[in-house]
Structure 1
Amino acid sequence: MIWLVWRQHRRQALFAVLGLLALAAFVVPSGLGMRRSYDDLGLGCIQAAGDGDLPGTCLDAIRTFTSQYSIEGSLSILLMFVPMLIGIFWGAPLVARELEHGTHRLVWTQGVSRRQWAVAKFGLVGGFTLLVALVFGFGVSWWMAPLNTAGIPRFDVFNFDVGGLAPVGYTLFALALGIVGGSLWRKVLPAMAASLVVFIGVRVAVTAFARPHFAAPVERGTSVEVLDTGVDPLAGDWVQGMEVRAADGSLLMDHASTVCNPGADDCGSMTGAVNWVMYQPGDRYWMFQLIETGIYVALAGVLLWFAFRRVRQLA
């Protein structure tokens, strides 16, 4: 059965390896180039400054670096689609193609039980998908590391979704979704279309409504007479809300902050006011990654359980 699965899916495996090699052909030279530029511009000043203020020369170097590699940062938008495409294009045909061509009847009457067939198919393809997703996720994380250190936040949706463990969860979820879609619609293209719609819907829902609440945000208030709000973008802090409150706690401005220099300005109603910020510290990045990956892996597990049951009922 293992040999049969390999023969059926070796072309997909070959394309996956070629795709990873093509990605590596861009990511590795680009990543090494970014690291050389990072060192040449003296951006070690970011770590050297610690929690203190960055000198002007360091800020200039950061602006030069991020401007030089702005295109690379934008490419992460395209990489967001990779887990979805891998999962759906591998998952949907896994069952649907057999049903569409009627070959499942031949397999299940040749001494191979439906359970054995499903375990071999789902297990081997799922294991290879997991390996590809791990290489992709941590490869992109390595590539983006200099940009993240220079101030492009890891919590940004276009960075969070393509690096670390998150692509593993997305890819396995898309794979399981495609398998279930194939077992329900019995044809490859409708299964792909349905899986795509559901995948996008779930991803948007989790990103917009669940992720911001994985942990209670840190709340910090500083006087409007102080420029520093205590949030450090270079550390990857994710600002979720800002507002200006009066001394009595009433809201003066929402989704904004302000500065009043009492030595030069008439603060007026802002006297005693506080800039209030709600944010997720950058050191929670991996906790959020684990939570989100766990959600999608759990969803994938439920879908695969349903697919196993569905295969046993197919005629």
Structure 2
Amino acid sequence: MNSSLWHGSLWLAWRQQRVLAGVGAAVLAAAAAIAAYYRSGMLDALRSGLFDHCDPGPVSCTRSDTGVPLLLDIQPLQYLGALNIALPVIIGVFWGAPLLGRDRELGTHRMVLTQGVSRGQWFASRFALAAATAVTLSGLLAGVFAWWWRPAADRSYGLFWYETTALSGSGPRVVAAALFGLAAGTLLGLLARRVLAAMGLTLLVTGAMTLVLEWTHKTRLLVPPHIYTSAGSVPKLPMGEKWSAGHYGLITASGRRDDVMNCPFPSGAQLKDCMDRNGYVARFYEANPAGDYWAFQWTDTAVLGGLALLLTAVTVLLLRRRI
């Protein structure tokens, strides 16, 4: 195919997608403006000295005069994280599903294909433009979140790395999720006979995938927690920025792990005596350290990116049969 036909196909793709691209640019501009405003207020609050006595760990910090908890205004930041989590659903439903499905439903693709444009070029021009826009939009939104979040990251008065809006609403997984949503919507738009049907199916698929990944985070299915041990005679060290898996207990010399309620005493003589009587040599708990933020990120990115590639390949293979 010559360059003029390719450029013409790209131009047509841009005309069809420019409204959505404009909406994405407006959302990004609004997010950046809101982030700049609230981040400035966050920095002013931190510079005021009100939080200077607060420990950096998870123990809540309170005002010394009233005992009222001290918290930064992070709710708008969490809203941006929620938007980033919802991106694959939004992009899949409103961009991916109509990408090929609209032309198929209206039959306008036949006119394009009679102009010397191959099926592959017709698909590539539309999908490449949509993918480039999705990557740019999601990457910049993830960057805005990270920039806004940094002053309040992993503080008792801010937002910890393992909270859903931070863990799933930031980093490279946001970009991979956006591409997955686009690929899923595009494939379903090709398979379904009506765009509305494709949009409904895309909503179910991308929403289910989002929930499945959140479930893997909670259960630590893909990123197992670390095991930390401590003697029962002294208090264990604070967890700090670790994300507890909710599993606590006692360990025998043979390595058997039992329920913590077998010796339900705080650190001290009672706990030590109970442990000695029952043959326990240490306590344990399971948690993910702060460094596992990147393990979760790259695992999600690999899963979502791999699925996006697979769905795109299936779409290409089905083009000849469906168009």
TM-score (norm 2): 0.82
Gaps of 5+ in 1: none
Structure 2 match to 1:174? 181
Q: How does 1:97-246 map to 2 (within 5 A)?
A: 97-151=102-156, 152-209=159-216, 212-233=220-241, 237-245=242-250
Q: Does 1:13 align with 2:17?
A: no
Would the alpha carbon gap of residues 140 and 204 (structure 1) be closer, same or farther in structure 2, given more than 3 Å must change?
A: same
Bigger shift: residues 89-98 or 145-154:
145-154
- Residue-by-residue CA offset, 1:11-62 (whole Å, 9 max, x unaligned): 111111111112222111111211221232365777xx89xx99x9x94479
Would the alpha carbon gap of residues 308 and 266 (structure 1) be closer, same or farther in structure 2, given more than 3 Å must change?
A: closer
From 78, 94, 99, the equivalent of 1:89 is 94
Distance 1:252 1:286 in 2: 31
TM-score (norm 1): 0.84
> Match of 1:279, as an amino acid?
A
> Match of 1:140, as an amino acid?
F
Distance 1:279 1:292 in 2: 19
Aligned-pair distance for 1:258? 5.7
Q: Number of residue pairs matched?
A: 303
Bigger shift: residues 102-111 or 72-81:
72-81
Would the alpha carbon gap of residues 257 and 179 (structure 1) be closer, same or farther in structure 2, given more than 3 Å must change?
A: farther
Q: Does 1:71 align with 2:75?
A: yes
- Residue-by-residue CA offset, 1:240-281 (whole Å, 9 max, x unaligned): 233121655451327x9862333xx68663566743111221
Would the alpha carbon gap of residues 5 and 44 (structure 1) be closer, same or farther in structure 2, given more than 3 Å must change?
A: farther
Aligned-pair distance for 1:87? 3.2
**1:229–1:277 CA contact under 8 A, matched in 2:** no
Would the alpha carbon gap of residues 18 and 139 (structure 1) be closer, same or farther in structure 2, given more than 3 Å must change?
A: same
Q: Does 1:24 align with 2:32?
A: yes
**1:94–1:182 CA contact under 8 A, matched in 2:** yes
**1:179–1:307 CA contact under 8 A, matched in 2:** yes
> Match of 1:69, as an amino acid?
D
From 281, 296, 302, the equivalent of 1:294 is 302
Distance 2:107 2:231 in 1: 71
Q: Does 1:39 align with 2:47?
A: yes
- Residue-by-residue CA offset, 1:54-86 (whole Å, 9 max, x unaligned): 9x9x94479978524253355356423234212
**1:95–1:186 CA contact under 8 A, matched in 2:** no
Would the alpha carbon gap of residues 140 and 156 (structure 1) be closer, same or farther in structure 2, given more than 3 Å must change?
A: same
Distance 2:264 2:42 in 1: 34
> Match of 1:36, as an amino acid?
D
Flag the structure with higher helix content: 1
- Residue-by-residue CA offset, 1:151-187 (whole Å, 9 max, x unaligned): 4321222221111112111111011000011001032
Would the alpha carbon gap of residues 230 and 73 (structure 1) be closer, same or farther in structure 2, given more than 3 Å must change?
A: same
SS at match of 1:277: strand
SS at match of 2:99: helix
- Residue-by-residue CA offset, 1:187-221 (whole Å, 9 max, x unaligned): 21111111111112222223323782444432111
SS at match of 1:282: coil
SS at match of 1:18: helix
> Match of 1:283, as an amino acid?
G
SS at match of 1:149: coil
Would the alpha carbon gap of residues 19 and 231 (structure 1) be closer, same or farther in structure 2, given more than 3 Å must change?
A: same
Distance 2:306 2:108 in 1: 31
SS at match of 1:67: coil
Gaps of 5+ in 2: 1-8
Would the alpha carbon gap of residues 16 and 74 (structure 1) be closer, same or farther in structure 2, given more than 3 Å must change?
A: closer
**1:242–1:257 CA contact under 8 A, matched in 2:** no
Distance 1:124 1:266 in 2: 64
- Residue-by-residue CA offset, 1:112-167 (whole Å, 9 max, x unaligned): 11111111111111111100000011111222223323143212222211111121
The alignment yields a C-alpha RMSD, in angstroms, of 3.1
Structure 2 match to 1:310? 318
**2:233–2:272 CA contact under 8 A, matched in 1:** no
**What's the % identity of the aligned pairs?**
24
Distance 1:7 1:117 in 2: 14
